[in-house]
């Protein structure tokens, strides 16, 4: 079901630049997501209780965004804009509504750099605009000596196993389609990478699986990868456990032990995951993070 909402703000400014994706701003063209990923952290928030069946179109987002970008540009407050942080910018309704495309045109007009995070193949439709952003955007001064590209395209994967993906990402394109789309973007000259966020405990987080995933990313042209742990809380945790109970009942007790108190795995788990991923990236010859060693 689609509903239409009005927003007061479209461009969200961080207090501090994101350490991983380097964005100073975020824009979310929609609320909710038709890709229906079981592990999505938004499910645990006030915005995600029914994210698989209902999503919202922000009717006035372009009018609001134009004013905000214009004011930021006038003050030369340039920074990387992440599209999107809490939804999929290229879900099915974008084909018709083209809100993301219009947002990118506006970002181009005001010369802001951009980072796209997507699971969709539809991003190739907008490579013409992204190419112009890459040529004309203005990077923040402190990033100019570190980053050459002003348009960054990241593809999200939790696994490259097609069966697992159908269970945990039922509405998203298959992993191979995302990888092929990334390869196309790379062949067009874009700076591209894979967000293995989240990897799935006891399913896609082993050293063997991580190496297979990172090598595959490298083979398909990724310039960098991210590897991040799963977060579970609220309604999202309840749904995830329900899916585990149906498909992997033997893992349910392991998850309850891993997430027994907090919404994220223990510090030791996260440190081990990062250490293994960094070692694999060094061996494979690919950057961990946009600038490396994230």
- Reported as a single tens digit per residue, the pLDDT across 79-90 is 999 998 899 999
User: Closest Cα partner for 223 from 191, 267, 268?
Assistant: 191
> Would you say residue 293 lies in a domain?
no
Q: How confident is the model at residue 261 (pLDDT cuts 50, 70, 90)?
A: confident
Element (H, E) at 116: strand 114-118
> Would you say residue 193 lies in a domain?
yes
> Would you say residue 294 lies in a domain?
no
> Would you say residue 7 lies in a domain?
yes
DSSP string, 171-235: TSPPHHHHHHHHHHHHHTT-EEEEEE-SPPTTTT-SHHHHHHHHHHHHHTT-SEEEE------HH
List pLDDT tens digits, range 173-206.
Answer: 999 999 999 999 999 999 999 999 999 999 999 9
> Would you say residue 93 lies in a domain?
yes
Q: How much is the pTM? A: 0.94
Q: What confidence score (pLDDT) does residue 46 get?
A: 52
> Would you say residue 292 lies in a domain?
no
Boundaries of domain holding 248? 2-285
Q: What domain count does the chain have? A: 1
Q: What percent of the chain has pLDDT over 70?
A: 96
Give the C-alpha separation, 177 to 232, whole Å: 27
> Would you say residue 290 lies in a domain?
no
Which of 32-46, 143-157, 219-233, 250-264 is predicted with the least confidence, judged by mean pLDDT? 32-46
Q: Which CATH number does the domain housing residue 11 bear?
A: 3.20.20.70
What's 81's DSSP letter?
E
> Would you say residue 291 lies in a domain?
no
């Amino acid at each position: 079901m689609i509903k239409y909402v009005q927003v007061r703000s479209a461009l969200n400014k961080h207090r501090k630049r994101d350490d991983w994706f380097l964005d100073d701003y975020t824009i979310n063209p929609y609320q909710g997501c038709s890709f229906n990923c079981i592990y999505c952290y938004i499910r645990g928030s006030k915005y995600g209780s029914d994210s698989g069946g209902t999503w919202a179109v922000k009717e006035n987002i372009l009018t609001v965004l134009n004013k905000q970008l214009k004011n930021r540009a006038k003050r030369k407050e340039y920074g990387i804009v992440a599209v999107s942080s809490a939804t999929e910018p290229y879900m099915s309704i974008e084909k018709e509504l083209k809100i993301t495309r219009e947002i990118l045109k506006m970002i181009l007009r005001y010369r802001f750099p951009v980072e796209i995070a997507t699971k969709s193949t539809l991003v190739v439709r907008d490579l013409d605009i992204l190419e112009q952003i890459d040529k004309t955007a203005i990077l923040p001064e402190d990033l100019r000596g570190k980053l050459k590209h002003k348009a960054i395209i990241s593809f999200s994967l939790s696994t490259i196993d097609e069966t697992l993906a159908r269970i945990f990402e039922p509405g998203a394109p298959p992993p191979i389609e995302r990888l092929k789309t990334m390869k196309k973007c790379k062949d067009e000259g874009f700076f591209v990478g894979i967000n293995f966020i989240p990897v799935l405990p006891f399913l896609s987080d082993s050293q063997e699986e991580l190496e297979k995933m990172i090598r595959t990313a490298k083979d398909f042209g990724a310039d960098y990868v991210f590897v991040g742990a799963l977060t579970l809380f609220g309604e999202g945790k309840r749904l995830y456990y329900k899916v585990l109970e149906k498909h992997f009942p033997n893992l349910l007790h392991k998850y309850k032990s891993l997430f027994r108190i907090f919404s994220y795995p223990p510090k030791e788990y996260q440190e081990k995951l990062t250490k293994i991923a960094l070692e694999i990236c060094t061996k494979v010859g690919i950057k961990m993070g946009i600038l490396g060693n994230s």
